[in-house]
C-alpha cells in the first residue's frame, strides 16, 4: 500500500482544509442559523410527542441479541461538524480517510453526516421520535455528557451496548474515557472525543497573566465588559474552581457557585454569556479573557497563528478544569446496531484515533495516540514537510491535548443531573444569572 503517497496527499489537503476550518464547538455562524430556524419547528414537533416518556415498560432489549445480529450494509452516523479527519480525492471530492479505511476493511459503508450543531437542538429533533417509539434514522449519535445525555439514558432511548463486541475499546480506552460517572461501565456510551473547559486570555489585552478564576471578576486585570462566559459550563466550572467536586455537590454548593457568578456579573467584567460562538469575539479582539474549550484555543494558538491566546492550565490548588466528553450512542430503533458498534470500536485503535486527533485537536479517549502523532511528525520531517511536522510536534506537546496526570487530577466532570426535581432546582439557581 502506498501509504507514503496517501500521507503526502492527505497532508496537503489537511493544510488546505485547516485553513478554512472552524472549530467544532464554535460554529455559531452555522449553529445560530440552525437554532433560529429550528427551535420553532422543533418546539411544535416535540409537543406532538409529549406522551409518557419515563416508562421503559416492556423490559429492556438484550444487548447481546441486538448487537449479535449480522451487521447491515450501511451505518448512519450523526456527528458534529469538523469533528473527523477529512481529505479530498483527485476529483476534489471530500472524503473521510479513517472511515474509508473502515469500509475497506469491513465492507460496511458509513453514511457520515455532520448534523449535530448543538446537543439541545439535536435532542429537540430526535426526542419526539424516540418518545413515540419511532426510529430516528441514525445508528450512531454523539451527545455530550449532561442533561440531554441523561434523559436519553433514563428513558431507555439508547441501546445498552454489548461489552463483548468492543475489544479495542476494552484494550485501549483511556482511564477518563472508561467507566465515567455519568455512564458507569460505559453501558450505553463510548466517548468520541473530550475536552477541557478552562480560562483563556489574550496576553496583549490583560493586565498581566491570568492564573485563576477570581481574575475574571477583577476589572483591574481583565477590564470592564470584556469577559466571555459559557452559560452551560459556568456553574460546574466555578464550583470546581471553588474547590467543590460537582460529583458530590447539592443545592448548597450550587448556590455558592451562583453567588460567585452574581458577584462577577456585578463586578462589570462580563461582556456576554455565550451558548457557543465565543470564538468570533475572541479572535476579533472584542474579549480580553473568558471561558473557552481547550481544542478551540489550541487550534487558534498553534494552527491559526493567534499566538497571543493562552489557555490557562492552573497550578494545583489554584483552580481546576471542567472535563467533558462527547459520547457515541446507539439510539433505540437503529437499523444497524451491530455495524454501529463496529464503527465505534474502530476508533479505539491508536492509529485510527490519531488520524482524528491530528485533525480535531481535542482529547482522545484512546491510548497511544500521542506516540502515533510523534511518529507521524518524524515521518513528515523525513518527507520534507517541515512546517507540518512542527505543528504535529507542538500538538503532541500541548498539555490540554495530551494532559499529564497532574492536569487530569485537576479536571472533573460536571454535575450529573438525573431527576426532574434536580433539574428544576438547578435551573432556578443558575438561569437568573444569564437571563436577568
Count of CB atoms situated within 10 Å of the CB of 105: 10
285 is an interface residue for other proteins by CB under 8 A? yes
Among 121, 233, 310, 326, indicate the residue that binds other proteins (CB under 8 A).
121
How far is residue 7's CA from residue 378's CA, in Å, rounded to a whole number? 13
Nearer to other proteins, 7 or 259 (CB): 259
Smallest distance, other proteins to C-beta of residue 39, A: 5
250 is an interface residue for other proteins by CB under 8 A? no
**Which DSSP string corresponds to 117-148?**
S-HHHHHHHHHHHHHTT---S-SBEEEETTHH
118-126, 189-197, 248-256, 349-357 -> range binding other proteins (CB under 8 A): 118-126
Residue pair 246/414 in contact (Cβ under 8 Å)? The answer is yes
3-state DSSP call for residue 103? Answer: helix
Nearer to other proteins, 76 or 117 (CB): 117
Among 6, 109, 280, 335, indicate the residue that binds other proteins (CB under 8 A).
280
User: What does the block give as the cell for 13?
Assistant: 489537503
Residue pair 193/363 in contact (Cβ under 8 Å)? The answer is yes
Smallest distance, other proteins to C-beta of residue 22, A: 13
1 is an interface residue for other proteins by CB under 8 A? no
The Cα angle at residue 243 between residues 240 and 246, in degrees rounded to 5 = 45
Among 2, 93, 404, 435, indicate the residue that binds other proteins (CB under 8 A).
435
Per-position x/- string for 40-69, each x denoting binding to other proteins as judged by CB under 8 A, each - no binding: --xxx-xxx-xxxxxx--------------
- Spatial neighbors of 48 by CB under 8 A, at least 6 apart, are 128
Residue pair 153/183 in contact (Cβ under 8 Å)? The answer is yes
Among 36, 57, 91, 387, indicate the residue that binds other proteins (CB under 8 A).
36
Nearer to other proteins, 34 or 337 (CB): 34
Which residues face 274 on adjacent strands? 230
113 is an interface residue for other proteins by CB under 8 A? no
83 is an interface residue for other proteins by CB under 8 A? no
Nearest in space to 173 (alpha carbons), one of 331, 295, 345: 345
Nearer to other proteins, 51 or 316 (CB): 51
Cα dihedral: 298, 300, 305, 308 (round 10): -80
Smallest distance, other proteins to C-beta of residue 246, A: 18
Nearer to other proteins, 395 or 416 (CB): 416
CA distances from 386 to 104, 336, 355, 382, 393 (A): 31, 43, 19, 8, 10
Q: Tell which positions 187-216 bind other proteins, by CB under 8 A.
A: none
How far is residue 229's CA from residue 46's CA, in Å, rounded to a whole number? 29
Q: Tell which positions 339-358 bind other proteins, by CB under 8 A.
A: none
How far is residue 248's CA from residue 101's CA, in Å, rounded to a whole number? 43
Per-position x/- string for 259-278, each x denoting binding to other proteins as judged by CB under 8 A, each - no binding: ------x----xxxx-x---
9 is an interface residue for other proteins by CB under 8 A? no
39-47, 159-167, 367-375, 386-394 -> range binding other proteins (CB under 8 A): 39-47
Nearer to other proteins, 28 or 99 (CB): 28
Among 79, 86, 129, 148, indicate the residue that binds other proteins (CB under 8 A).
148
- Residues making up the chain, counted from first to last: 436
How far is residue 196's CA from residue 173's CA, in Å, rounded to a whole number? 18
Residue pair 139/71 in contact (Cβ under 8 Å)? The answer is no
Q: Tell which positions 360-419 bind other proteins, by CB under 8 A.
A: 418-419
The Cα angle at residue 158 between residues 134 and 364, in degrees rounded to 5 = 135
Residues that bind other proteins (rule: CB under 8 A) add up to a total of: 58
Residue pair 429/239 in contact (Cβ under 8 Å)? The answer is no
Nearer to other proteins, 105 or 224 (CB): 224
Rounded to 5 degrees, φ, ψ at 88 are -120, 140
Smallest distance, other proteins to C-beta of residue 134, A: 17
Among 15, 114, 155, 308, indicate the residue that binds other proteins (CB under 8 A).
155
Among 5, 70, 252, 284, indicate the residue that binds other proteins (CB under 8 A).
284
Residue pair 113/77 in contact (Cβ under 8 Å)? The answer is yes
Q: Which residues of this protein are in contact with other proteins, per CB under 8 A?
A: 28-29, 32-33, 35-37, 39, 42-44, 46-48, 50-55, 118, 120-121, 123-124, 127, 147-148, 150-151, 154-155, 223-225, 231-232, 265, 270-273, 275, 280-281, 284-286, 418-420, 423-424, 427, 431, 434-436
Amino acid at each position: 500500500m502506498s501509504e507514503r503517497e496517501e500521507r503526502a496527499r492527505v497532508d496537503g489537503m489537511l493544510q488546505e482544509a485547516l485553513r478554512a476550518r472552524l472549530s467544532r464547538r464554535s460554529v455559531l455562524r452555522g449553529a445560530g442559523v440552525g437554532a433560529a430556524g429550528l427551535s420553532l419547528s422543533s418546539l411544535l414537533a416535540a409537543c406532538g410527542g409529549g406522551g409518557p416518556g419515563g416508562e421503559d415498560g416492556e423490559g429492556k432489549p438484550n444487548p447481546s441479541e441486538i448487537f449479535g445480529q449480522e451487521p447491515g450494509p450501511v451505518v448512519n452516523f450523526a456527528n458534529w461538524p469538523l469533528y473527523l479527519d477529512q481529505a479530498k480525492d483527485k476529483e476534489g471530492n471530500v472524503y473521510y480517510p479513517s472511515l474509508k479505511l473502515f469500509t475497506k476493511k469491513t465492507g460496511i459503508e458509513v453514511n457520515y453526516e455532520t448534523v449535530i450543531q448543538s446537543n439541545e437542538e439535536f435532542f429537540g429533533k430526535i426526542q419526539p421520535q424516540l418518545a413515540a417509539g419511532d426510529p430516528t434514522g441514525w445508528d450512531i449519535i454523539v451527545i455530550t455528557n449532561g442533561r440531554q445525555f441523561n434523559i436519553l439514558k433514563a428513558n431507555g432511548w439508547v441501546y445498552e451496548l454489548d461489552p463483548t463486541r468492543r475489544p479495542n475499546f476494552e484494550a485501549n480506552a483511556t482511564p477518563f474515557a472508561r467507566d465515567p460517572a455519568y455512564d458507569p461501565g460505559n453501558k450505553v456510551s463510548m466517548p468520541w472525543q473530550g475536552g477541557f473547559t478552562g480560562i483563556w486570555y489574550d496576553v496583549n489585552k490583560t493586565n498581566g497573566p491570568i492564573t485563576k478564576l477570581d481574575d475574571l471578576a477583577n476589572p483591574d486585570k481583565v477590564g470592564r465588559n470584556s469577559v466571555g462566559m459559557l452559560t452551560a459550563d459556568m456553574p460546574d466550572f466555578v464550583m470546581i474552581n471553588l474547590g467543590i467536586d460537582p460529583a458530590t455537590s447539592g443545592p448548597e454548593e450550587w448556590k455558592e457557585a451562583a453567588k460567585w457568578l452574581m458577584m462577577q456579573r456585578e463586578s462589570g467584567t462580563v461582556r456576554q454569556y455565550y451558548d457557543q460562538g465565543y470564538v468570533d469575539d475572541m479572535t476579533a479582539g472584542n474579549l480580553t479573557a473568558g471561558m473557552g474549550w481547550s481544542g478551540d484555543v489550541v487550534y487558534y494558538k498553534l494552527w491559526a497563528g493567534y499566538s497571543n491566546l493562552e489557555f490557562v492550565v492552573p497550578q494545583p490548588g489554584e483552580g481546576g478544569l471542567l472535563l467533558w466528553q462527547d459520547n457515541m450512542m446507539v439510539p433505540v430503533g437503529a437499523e444497524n446496531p451491530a455495524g454501529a458498534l463496529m464503527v465505534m470500536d474502530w476508533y479505539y485503535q491508536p492509529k485510527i484515533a490519531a488520524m482524528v486527533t491530528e485533525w480535531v485537536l481535542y482529547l482522545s479517549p484512546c491510548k497511544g495516540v500521542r506516540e502515533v502523532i510523534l511518529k507521524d511528525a518524524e515521518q513528515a520531517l523525513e518527507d520534507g514537510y517541515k512546517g507540518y511536522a512542527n505543528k504535529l510536534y507542538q500538538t503532541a506537546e500541548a498539555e490540554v491535548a495530551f494532559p499529564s496526570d497532574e492536569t487530569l487530577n485537576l479536571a472533573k466532570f460536571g454535575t450529573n443531573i438525573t431527576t426532574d426535581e434536580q433539574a428544576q432546582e438547578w435551573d432556578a439557581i443558575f438561569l437568573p444569572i444569564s437571563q436577568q
